[in-house]
Amino acid sequence: MARRRAREAASLSRVLVLGFAGIVFWGLMFGIMFRMLSYFEAAEGIGDVLAVKLLSLIFLAFLSILLLSNIITSLTSFFLGRDLELLVAAPIDSVRVYGARLLETIVQSSWMVVLVLVPVLSAYGLTYGGSWPYIITVLITVLSYLVLPAVAGAAITLLLVNIFPARRARDLLALLALFGAAGLVVLFRLLRPEQIVRPEGFRDLVDFVAALETPGSVWLPSEWAARAVLSGLPIEHLNGDRFPLLLLASTAAAFVVLGCILHTRMYAQGFSRAQEGAELRDRTGRRTPLIEHVFGKLPITTRSLVAKDVRTFFRDTTQWSQLILLAVLVVIYIYNIKVLPLRTGEDVGFFLINVVSFLNLGLAGFVLAAISARFLFPAVSLEGRTLWLLRSSPLDLRALVWCKYWVGVTPLLLLAVSLTVGTNLILCVGTFMMILSVTTITVMTFAIGALALGFGALFPRYETDNAADISTGFGGLTFMMTAVGYLACVIVLQAWPVYSVLRARAEGAAITPAQITSLAVGLGLAAALSAAAAVIPLRAALVRLNGA
């Protein structure tokens, strides 16, 4: 009884924290969108066009994410789920199975997109005075918009599984990577972001507006969705135009029917092939595999753990398929830095570039936190079901924690330093900012890695094998909030002293002892905070594992 009460209290506090975090996120998102749209609305002529363009960009960005996410999710929901054997053996009509699994796929792969769309579309509604017709239009549009990539994703997976056994993850993912890369190229081609950020490149305003008014592509459902949503608002030339909504809804319905026909024809064979998963590894017959040669200098226990972690990571679809999204994230990140319009003005040079490079650290830190949440946070949870082996072996659990930490942090550090150095080189920053940012990002990586591993051990989810699920729970959210808090503290501690030193240098003034002192104090405090953020979570993880 006492345990149940404690569990109920814990779940209530989780709901409260999650609810609070959700409301803060929604509030922020809504505030930013509302502010931006209010500016647009005030801009006669060009404002409405920008509002349409912005929404179609948002829908387009989400469309590519949804497609990839649906392909990956439908692999599990249609072919690898544990309950499927029972379902397939049961006398259930295949249309019903398709409908149920499609719904499951949509919910699992789209809920995050819906969460982000709520404040965005609310901001549109409030800015342009939408009422009930707008809400109904939005509901129909979003539903149809979500169905399209889900049906497409399920169909692509169905075709792939009919060609390759579902468990042949490598072959499948090579194709997925190709889709990801192709999607990215198409996305950038269609976004044409340079046209929006560089209006001076057009002959005149009319050309600029004309370029903006041109739809990204008349074939893209994201464009239909944007125009369908806005048809419910009193925006000139869009109000009451029901064609995009009808086009979107009817295409979604047709997609479901076509998907269902494809499913009926190909699912049975695909499911059967998916069970033929026996996969041979290490056919070379080598006594000591390559991976163990690479880590040959490590003690045998550590070597075994590292080799096991690396192997299981690259053989697990749910683990490394996310690397495609990571690569997309990195490319977008570098691309954004490259197209920043810093050098278009006359006197932006030294100071602004250095400030951007400094702010870049915060953003890079956030990217690192997101990657850690996905790859380092689940490390302990994934070990959960096999913890019986580790705990019954003479392994010191400190070795386990250290191994997990270094296996996770080393590639993270390589990525972080390359990203920072690369973007700094693009920005042509000075030596001071280069040294400061590389040092800071290195320290941040160690701290964020430790936070992710520590929170992962404190909030384990042993019941799931899917690493992507593990980081989406309460623990993952708490980690992200703590990591963002830590990043904000480090930035705040460094911001003022760095700003004053940079300003003095930009103005050609001598740097005073007070500035040097404040710089030392700021950097010292940031280092102390980082040390605490690295040590405390790792110790907590160890205590938790020892007491589990």
CB of 465 to another protein, least distance (A): 8
Question: Is 282 among the residues that bind another protein (CB under 8 A)?
Answer: yes
Owner of token pair 């072959």? 171
Question: Is 385 among the residues that bind another protein (CB under 8 A)?
Answer: yes
Q: How many residues line the site for another protein (CB under 8 A)?
A: 37
> According to CB under 8 A, which one of 3, 82, 203, 297 is a site residue for another protein?
3
Complex with another protein: residue 139 or 174, whichever CB lies closer: 174
The Cα 267–Cα 155 span in angstroms is: 10
Q: How many residues does the chain have?
A: 548
> Which amino acid is it at 55?
L
> According to CB under 8 A, which one of 228, 238, 307, 364 is a site residue for another protein?
307
CB of 165 to another protein, least distance (A): 11
And the tokens for 276?
């033929």
Runs of H (alpha helix) within 128-213: 132-163, 169-191, 193-197, 205-213
Instruction: Determine which helix (DSSP H) or strand (DSSP E) holds 512, and give its type and residue range.
Output: none
- DSSP structure class, residue 241: -
CB of 315 to another protein, least distance (A): 4
Query: What angle, rounded to 10 degrees, do the helices at 322-339 and 349-375 form?
Result: 170
And the tokens for 325?
């999204």
CB of 113 to another protein, least distance (A): 30
Question: Is 218 among the residues that bind another protein (CB under 8 A)?
Answer: no
The Cα 277–Cα 161 span in angstroms is: 11
Residues 431, 432, 437, 440: is their CA dihedral positive or negative? positive
Query: Is the backbone of residue 45 left (phi > 0), alpha (psi -120 to 50) or beta?
Result: left
**Region 283-302 residues binding another protein, contact defined as CB under 8 A:** 283, 287, 289, 300-301
Question: Is 304 among the residues that bind another protein (CB under 8 A)?
Answer: yes
> According to CB under 8 A, which one of 8, 85, 396, 463 is a site residue for another protein?
396
CB 438 within 8 A of CB 421: yes
CB of 304 to another protein, least distance (A): 3
> According to CB under 8 A, which one of 118, 184, 370, 395 is a site residue for another protein?
395
> According to CB under 8 A, which one of 198, 237, 242, 391 is a site residue for another protein?
391
> According to CB under 8 A, which one of 240, 345, 394, 513 is a site residue for another protein?
394
Question: Is 5 among the residues that bind another protein (CB under 8 A)?
Answer: no
> According to CB under 8 A, which one of 170, 192, 315, 505 is a site residue for another protein?
315
CB 410 within 8 A of CB 435: no
The Cα 361–Cα 501 span in angstroms is: 17
Q: How many CA atoms lie within 13 A of 75 on its CB side?
A: 23
Q: Could you tell me which of 431, 421, 443 has the C-alpha nearest to residue 501?
A: 431
CB of 466 to another protein, least distance (A): 13
Question: Is 207 among the residues that bind another protein (CB under 8 A)?
Answer: no
The Cα 322–Cα 466 span in angstroms is: 12
And the tokens for 495?
């911001």
Of the ranges 222-230, 279-287, 435-443, 448-456, which one interacts with another protein (CB under 8 A)?
A: 279-287
Question: Is 2 among the residues that bind another protein (CB under 8 A)?
Answer: yes
> Which amino acid is it at 239?
N
Roughly how many angstroms between the first and final C-alpha of the chain, as a whole number? 21
And the tokens for 388?
């019986």
Complex with another protein: residue 336 or 386, whichever CB lies closer: 386
Q: Binding pattern to another protein, positions 138-177, x when CB under 8 A? A: -----------------------------x----------
CB of 541 to another protein, least distance (A): 18
Of the ranges 221-229, 384-392, 416-424, 475-483, which one interacts with another protein (CB under 8 A)?
A: 384-392
Binding region for another protein (CB under 8 A)? 1-3, 167, 277-283, 287, 289, 300-301, 303-305, 307-308, 311-312, 315-316, 385-396, 547
